[in-house]
């Protein structure tokens, strides 16, 4: 009985012990689960802190390299691995490689320092080494022991540094691997999927940072560089020029020079071959100018700083030469630039030649702003163009005075147009057979005051350059047609008087020229067949087909045409016969020496023969002597114009001339 009680008590005790053991195991499992959860929560928190730290710092750091170095330091701290390295991709296609980012300086044990040094001197092609494998695959790569890996070129250095495990992951922007980060452990390391997952997120974050940084760098680059040539643009040039001016003001021994380069005839090339060919020419020219600048810098003293070649726009380039010894440095560069243009350019399968006009100014002039420098060097460049192009000119004070005078003249001319200060004078054109006045040439004058009459040679170039010729030219055309209409009514003839009126190149290029002429003829009621529009050879040579088209449209109105100053231009006989011409006006330079120079006489005789073959009349300009008149009559020249008959006079004087009896031919 007692034995049975003992057995029952033992059984109960065993059951209690088993229950307690189950409870202890359950508690331990619960504690383990809780501990695991807390550990995972902690690890997740650490991962989030890592991601937040990298993202936050990367957004504040100024460069991609700094962002990558910061990420390496944070990841090494997170993993406890002693070493990391960043690489940036360079090039594309077969030439693509990974280049190491310079590591942050820091104390490392000797072997690790040697390994870092070796790493910093290497680059990796796709598929080669740990970084190259990541670049080729675009995916993370894990190596348990680099000393046993056949595709790890740094195995010997790693063994000496005590490095074993390694992993690397890509930094991706869009679909492009833009960087690779690699890390090393001092022990073998099995694949850690959780770590790879976190590093993939880091790679994505850094990729966005790099993409944004590159976009910012691209915007900054485009703001200060020319998109066609890659040269500094106006903004960067002015910024550097401003620094040079400030330096010169602080240091009187420092001097600089600026060159302003403008291609000659660029518009003709651009218009004839197209804008694509024009762009190609600009790129090739920029390359030659850079080579010339490099050669010039090699020839200057060792302390000289690199010059700046910039493209301001169009076909305009500037050069800033720092720390020059003398103005001759700038002149030598200008000569080198001219030399680079002697060889032809190949555009659209054609060999094209061009030249440049160059202006130079130096800091010894004493400048306070970049605007002043550009003003003066621009004046020097235009002086080079005015002197025949394909040359350089150094700025001097006389150029400024000339520019100021020109500016005042332009202002005065605009005021003269508003105040109607221009008048038209008329020079008779005489029949050499009868001595009768056949017509007139209308010539503009500026009645600046009651006693001051200004001739076209003193102002017409400025009206051409400023576009004022468009307004002045149309006024002269209207005034001459109105005057001729009155003379027709007052002095009727069986063969009506004619009027020759000059058309400038700018006027001829106006798209509504035909409409303007038609409107003036309708307004004045003048007989269009008595109006002769004079153009120069250069106008027709600019675009022969356009000239033929416009002249044909004007001929439909009834007006006649003459080529002015014939023989001084570059007329092509291949299309001269296609122009609807009525008159050739032989330039006065040939008439002036016709009785003294046999060659000039031959030229005039040839022109006469050409005109006769084409059925065109001839007017000899500048007829001034009896001997000249005799030669012209022997050559059977139809008409003469010059001081022998009359100088240009106002309309009132012409009326008196028309009222007087005609003189008998001399």
pLDDT digits (tens, 9 = 90+) for 74-94: 888 888 888 999 999 998 877
Q: Are residues 442 and 375 in the same domain?
A: no
Q: What is the mean pLDDT of residues 28-54?
A: 55
Q: Using CB atoms within 10 A of its CB, is residue 315 exposed (0-12), middle (13-18) or buried (19+)?
A: buried
Q: Are residues 270 and 212 in the same domain?
A: no
The whole-number pLDDT of residue 37 equals 45
Q: Kindly report the length of the chain.
A: 666
Q: Is residue 143 part of a domain?
A: yes
Task: Indicate whether 86 and 209 sit together in one domain.
Answer: yes
Per-residue pLDDT of 596-634, as tens digits, reads: 767 878 888 888 888 888 888 999 999 999 999 998 998
* Mean of pLDDT values over 28-49: 52
Report residue 45 as tokens: 């928190």
Q: How many CA atoms lie within 13 A of 585 on its CB side?
A: 25
Residues 152 and 252 in one domain: no
Which tokens go with 517?
């002429």
Same domain, 425 and 367: no
Statement: residue 128 has pLDDT above 90: yes
Lowest-pLDDT range, 122-131, 291-300, 490-499? 291-300
Q: Are residues 454 and 343 in the same domain?
A: no
Structurally, how many domains does the chain consist of? 3
More confident residue, 236 or 214: 236
With 50 as the cut, is the pLDDT of residue 38 above it?
Answer: no
CB 101 within 8 A of CB 68: yes
The whole-number pLDDT of residue 424 equals: 97
43 inside domain: no
Asked which of 173, 196, 224 is the last residue of a domain, the reply is 224
Better pLDDT: 28 or 229 = 229
Q: Which of 181, 199, 224 is the last residue of a domain?
A: 224
Q: Tell me the pLDDT tens digit for each residue of 277-286.
A: 899 999 999 9
> Could you tell me the pLDDT band of residue 529, with boundaries at 50, 70 and 90?
very high
Mean pLDDT throughout 453-471?
92
Residue 522 pLDDT more than 90?
Answer: yes
Q: Is the pLDDT of residue 666 over 50?
A: no
Q: What percent of the chain has pLDDT over 70?
A: 86
Q: What is the mean pLDDT of the chain?
A: 86
Is residue 402 in some structural domain?
A: no
What is the β-pairing status of strands 453-454 and 437-447?
antiparallel
CATH number where 128 lies? 3.30.450.40
CATH number at residue 285: 3.30.70.270
DSSP secondary structure code for residue 54 in this structure = H
Q: Is the pLDDT of residue 302 over 50?
A: no
User: Mean pLDDT throughout 179-206?
Assistant: 86
Least confident of 91-100, 304-313, 412-421: 304-313
pLDDT at 39: 46
pLDDT, residue 109, reads 73
Residues 243 and 389 in one domain: yes
Percent of the chain exceeding pLDDT 90 equals 52
pLDDT the model gives residue 40: 46
User: DSSP class of residue 495?
Assistant: S
Q: What is the pLDDT of residue 541?
A: 63
Q: The domain that contains 500 carries what CATH number?
A: 3.20.20.450
By C-alpha distance, which of 202, 183, 225 is closest to 313? 225
Please check whether residue 172 is in contact with residue 203, taking contact to mean a CB–CB distance below 8 angstroms: yes
435 falls within a domain: yes
Q: Based on the domain organization, do 309 and 207 belong to the same domain? A: no
Of 347-361, 476-490, 651-665, least confident by mean pLDDT is 651-665
Q: Is 140 among the domain residues?
A: yes
164 with 273, same domain? Answer: no
**Domain-embedded: residue 28:** no
User: What value does the mean pLDDT take over residues 44-50?
Assistant: 58
What is the maximum span of the chain, computed from C-alpha positions, in angstroms? Answer: 181
Is residue 305 pLDDT above 60, yes or no?
Answer: no
> How do residues 257-268 score in pLDDT, each as one tens digit?
999 999 998 888
What's the whole-number mean pLDDT along residues 199-218?
Answer: 83
In this predicted structure, the answer to whether residue 41 has a pLDDT above a threshold of 50 is no
In this model, does residue 16 exceed pLDDT 80?
Answer: no
Q: Are residues 180 and 275 in the same domain?
A: no
**What is the C-alpha separation between 194 and 142, in angstroms, rounded?**
13
Q: Kindly report the backbone phi and psi dihedral angles of residue 642, in degrees, each rounded to the nearest multiple of 5, phi listed first.
A: 165, 180
* Same domain, residue pair 206 and 307: no
* Containing structural domain, residue 527: 408-658
C-beta separation of 281 from 400 below 8 A: no
Averaged pLDDT, 384-406: 88
Q: Using the 3D structure, point to which of 160, 191, 224 is the last residue of a domain.
A: 224
Cβ proximity of 488 and 497 under 8 Å = yes
Q: Which pLDDT belongs to residue 323?
A: 87
Asked if residue 283 lies in contact with residue 228, where contact means CB atoms within 8 angstroms, the answer is yes
Q: Strand, coil or helix: what is 494?
A: coil
600: tokens are: 């000039």
* Residue 106 in this model has a pLDDT that exceeds 70: no
Q: Which of 35-44, 302-311, 563-572, 651-660 has the highest mean pLDDT?
A: 651-660
Average pLDDT on 161-190 reads: 91
Q: Is 56 among the domain residues?
A: no
Residue 24 has pLDDT above 90, yes or no: no
> Lowest-pLDDT range, 47-61, 96-110, 470-484, 636-650?
47-61
Q: 374 and 416 share a domain? A: no
Whether 341 is in a domain gets the answer: yes
C-beta of residue 498 within 8 angstroms of C-beta of residue 480: no
Among residues 621, 597, 613, 650, the alpha carbon closest in space to that of 432 is found at 621
Measure the CA–CA gap between 399 and 383, rounded to whole angstroms. Answer: 8
Q: Point out the least confidently predicted range of 99-108, 144-153, 454-463.
A: 99-108
Looking at the predicted structure, is the pLDDT value of residue 411 above 70?
yes
Phi, psi at residue 177, to the nearest 5°?
-80, 115
pLDDT per position as a tens digit, 540-579:
666 677 888 899 999 999 999 998 877 665 455 555 677 8
Structure confidence at residue 303 (pLDDT)? 46
502: confidence class by pLDDT, cuts 50, 70, 90 = very high
Mean pLDDT confidence for 32-52: 53
């Amino acid at each position: 009985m007692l034995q049975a009680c003992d057995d029952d008590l033992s059984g109960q005790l065993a059951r209690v012990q088993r229950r307690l053991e189950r409870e202890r195991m359950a508690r331990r499992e619960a504690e383990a689960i809780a501990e695991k959860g807390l550990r995972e929560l902690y690890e997740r928190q650490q991962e989030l802190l890592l991601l937040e730290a990298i993202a936050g710092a990367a957004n504040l750091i100024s460069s991609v390299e700094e962002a990558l170095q910061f990420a390496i330091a944070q990841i090494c701290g997170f993993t406890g691995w002693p070493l990391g390295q960043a690489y940036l991709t360079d090039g594309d296609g077969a030439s693509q490689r990974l280049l190491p980012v310079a590591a942050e300086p820091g104390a490392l044990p000797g072997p690790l320092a040697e390994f870092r040094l070796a790493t910093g001197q290497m680059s990796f092609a796709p598929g080669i080494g740990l970084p190259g494998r990541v670049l080729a695959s675009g995916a993370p790569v894990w190596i348990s022991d680099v000393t046993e890996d056949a595709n790890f070129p740094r195995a010997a250095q790693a063994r000496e540094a005590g490095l074993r495990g390694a992993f690397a992951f890509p930094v991706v922007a869009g679909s492009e691997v833009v960087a690779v980060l690699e890390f090393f452990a001092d022990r073998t390391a099995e694949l850690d999927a959780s770590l790879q997952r976190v590093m993939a997120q880091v790679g994505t974050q850094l990729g966005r940072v790099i993409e944004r940084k590159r976009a910012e760098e691209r915007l900054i680059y485009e703001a200060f560089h020319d998109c066609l040539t890659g040269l500094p643009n106006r903004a960067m040039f002015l910024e550097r020029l401003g620094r040079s001016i400030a330096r010169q003001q602080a240091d009187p021994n420092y001097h600089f020079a600026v060159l302003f380069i403008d291609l000659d005839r660029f518009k003709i090339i651009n218009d004839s071959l197209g804008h694509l060919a024009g762009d190609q020419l600009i790129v090739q020219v920029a390359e030659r100018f850079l080579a010339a600048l490099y050669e010039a810098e090699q020839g200057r003293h060792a302390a000289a700083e690199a010059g700046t070649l910039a493209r301001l726009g169009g076909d305009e380039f500037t050069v800033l030469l720092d720390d020059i010894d003398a103005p001759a440095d700038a002149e030598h560069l200008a000569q080198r630039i001219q030399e680079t243009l002697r060889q032809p350019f190949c555009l659209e399968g054609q060999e094209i030649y061009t030249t440049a006009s160059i202006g130079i100014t130096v800091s010894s002039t004493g400048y306070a702003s970049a605007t002043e420098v550009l003003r003066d060097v621009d004046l020097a460049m235009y002086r080079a163009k005015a002197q025949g192009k394909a040359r350089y000119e150094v700025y001097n004070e006389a150029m400024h005075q000339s520019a100021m005078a020109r500016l005042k003249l332009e202002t005065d001319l605009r005021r003269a147009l508003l105040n109607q200060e221009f008048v038209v004078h008329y020079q008779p054109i005489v029949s050499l057979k009868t001595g009768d006045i056949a017509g007139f040439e209308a010539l503009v004058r500026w009645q600046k005051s009651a006693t001051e009459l200004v001739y076209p040679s003193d102002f017409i170039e400025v009206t051409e350059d400023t576009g004022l010729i468009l307004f002045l030219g149309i006024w002269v055309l209207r005034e001459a047609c109105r005057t001729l209409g009155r003379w027709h009514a007052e002095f009727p003839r069986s063969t009506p008087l004619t009027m020759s009126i000059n058309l400038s190149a700018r006027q001829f290029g106006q798209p509504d020229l035909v409409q303007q002429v038609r409107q003036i003829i309708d307004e004045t009621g003048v007989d269009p067949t008595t109006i002769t529009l004079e153009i120069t050879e250069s106008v027709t040579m600019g675009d022969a087909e356009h000239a033929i088209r416009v002249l044909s449209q004007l001929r439909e109105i009834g007006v006649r045409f003459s080529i002015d100053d014939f023989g001084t231009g570059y007329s092509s006989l291949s299309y001269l016969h296609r122009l609807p011409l009525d008159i050739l006006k032989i330039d006065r330079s040939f008439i002036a020496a016709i009785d003294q120079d046999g060659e000039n006489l031959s030229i005039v005789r040839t022109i006469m023969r050409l005109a006769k073959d084409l059925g065109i009349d001839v007017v000899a300009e500048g007829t001034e002597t009896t001997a000249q008149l005799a030669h012209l009559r022997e050559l059977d020249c139809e008409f003469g114009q010059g001081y022998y008959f009359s100088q240009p006079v106002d309309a009132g004087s012409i009326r008196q001339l028309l009222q007087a009896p005609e003189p008998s031919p001399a």
